[in-house]
């Protein structure tokens, strides 16, 4: 079995496929040029829940082009704990009331909003008005209107906007995109993507509260499945039909538990996605006219893995996806490199999410999608 590794994946990068950001092991001077400004961007994390605590903050200890400069939290106990652990000065610690004062802090260049979904729009807009670049955790908002408001605020303020789509920066996703672009397995005919986990925790958690989350599994893991279907075909869907299933209504009282959806694409390819908070699933499978490829696991924090009908095994050295993602955004700001996950991508995904919910509300009716070719694909 042939193994596709980072070494032979370099040929993809040499073709200019936008994969240079993946080679964090390459010398900075080679990747950027010795005469480039080597300033690191200061990032402030807004919301210190589990994702910030266990993924983003540790990743920011290893990033090359950005660092953990500040925090925003509503919990005074966390202020001291984080300051002690990461050496964050008092002047870089904010709460939700004095957040707007961040405009006067030159040490903070980027605000990363990691709050419950219903708070994304407010704090992204406030960050933009404060003159800070913005990273918004997924989903971008709880409706398309919020996405538009965030995009407009960032545009009006002249700041950069990126989505917290970690998979857009990791090498397995880049390899999938290359397979599709180069027609390695012919024309794509079918894609299947699954992103799910079984929730058994506190039934009062914010993800199960629709006023805070905007929805259930679809607004959470479902975004990964939607994205997999899109980069697995290289196209935006033109229609969607969807169904919802509930087997634990006593636990999922306010949000969707399991959703399945079927896509049609302009080329004639079809796709199926499933997402749930009630079972474990983590894969993508793509079939073309001359073979297939799959990732399994496909969307967790890694390491990921894959194989193809040609007998190839996909194996890349594991690095923090969050590290790669935040460095990619920093390089977009500092050096003008392509934005791998722009705000338009977050809006596109929310347009698809809304169409899925509309289909469910109408008994599985096929809902047309009017997405311009290439809209929301990023750099």
Domain residue limits, the chain:
39-164, 167-318+342-368
Bridge partners (DSSP) of residue 292 are 287
Q: Cβ atoms within 10 A of the Cβ of 155, count?
A: 12
Summarize pLDDT for 327-370 with one digit per residue, the tens.
999 999 999 999 999 999 999 999 999 999 999 999 999 999 99
For residue 58, with 0-12 CB atoms within 10 Å meaning exposed, 13-18 middle and 19 or more buried, which class applies? middle
Asked whether 257 and 277 are in contact (CB, 8 A), the reply is: yes
Look at the domain 167-318+342-368 and name its fold.
Answer: Dihydrodipicolinate Reductase; domain 2 (3.30.360)
Calpha distance 230→343 (Å, rounded): 16
Percent of the chain at pLDDT exceeding 90: 89
Tell me the H-state helices in 75-170: 76-86, 120-129, 144-157
Look at the domain 39-164 and name its fold.
Answer: Rossmann fold (3.40.50)
Task: Provide the pLDDT confidence category of residue 38 given band limits of 50, 70 and 90.
Answer: low
Hey, do 39-164 and 167-318+342-368 end up sharing a CATH topology, with the first three levels equal?
A: no
Question: Is pTM beyond 0.85 here?
Answer: yes
- In this prediction, residue 155 carries a pLDDT of 98
The average pLDDT across 275-295 equals 98
Angle in degrees, 0-180, between the axes of helices 222-233 and 343-361, rounded to the nearest 10: 110
Strands 66-72 and 291-295, bridge-based pairing: unpaired
Asked whether 283 and 277 are in contact (CB, 8 A), the reply is: no
């Amino acid at each position: 079995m042939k193994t596709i590794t980072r070494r032979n994946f370099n040929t993809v990068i040499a073709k200019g496929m936008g994969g240079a950001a993946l080679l964090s092991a390459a010398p900075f001077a080679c990747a950027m040029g010795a005469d480039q400004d080597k300033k690191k961007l200061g990032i402030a994390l807004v919301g210190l829940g589990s994702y910030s605590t266990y993924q983003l903050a540790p990743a920011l200890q290893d990033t090359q082009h950005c660092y953990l400069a500040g925090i925003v939290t509503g919990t005074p106990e966390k202020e001291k704990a984080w300051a002690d652990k990461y050496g964050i000065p008092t002047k870089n610690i904010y709460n939700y009331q004095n957040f707007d004062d961040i405009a006067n802090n030159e040490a903070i260049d980027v605000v990363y909003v990691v709050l419950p979904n219903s708070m994304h729009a407010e704090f992204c807009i406030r960050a933009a008005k404060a003159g800070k670049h913005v990273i918004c955790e997924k989903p971008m908002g709880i409706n398309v209107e919020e996405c538009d408001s965030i995009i407009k605020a960032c545009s009006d303020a002249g700041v950069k906007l990126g989505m917290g789509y970690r998979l857009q920066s990791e090498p397995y996703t880049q390899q999938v995109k290359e397979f599709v672009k180069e027609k390695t397995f012919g024309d794509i005919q079918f894609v299947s993507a699954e992103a799910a986990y079984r929730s058994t925790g506190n039934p009062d958690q914010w993800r199960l509260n629709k006023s805070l989350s905007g929805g259930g599994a679809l607004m959470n893991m479902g975004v990964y499945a939607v994205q997999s279907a899109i980069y697995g075909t290289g196209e935006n869907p033109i229609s969607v039909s969807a169904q919802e299933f509930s087997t634990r209504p006593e636990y999922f009282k306010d949000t969707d538990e399991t959703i399945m959806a079927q896509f049609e694409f302009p080329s004639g390819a079809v796709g199926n996605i499933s997402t749930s908070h009630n079972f474990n699933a983590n894969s993508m499978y793509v079939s073309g006219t001359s073979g297939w490829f799959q990732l399994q696991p496909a969307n967790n924090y890694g390491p990921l893995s894959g194989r193809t009908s040609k007998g190839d095994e996909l194996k890349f050295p594991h690095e923090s996806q969050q590290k790669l993602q935040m460095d990619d955004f920093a390089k977009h700001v500092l050096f003008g490199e392509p934005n791998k996950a722009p705000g338009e991508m977050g809006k596109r995904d929310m347009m698809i999410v809304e169409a899925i919910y509309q289909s469910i509300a109408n008994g599985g009716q096929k809902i047309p999608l009017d997405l311009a070719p290439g809209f929301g694909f990023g750099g």
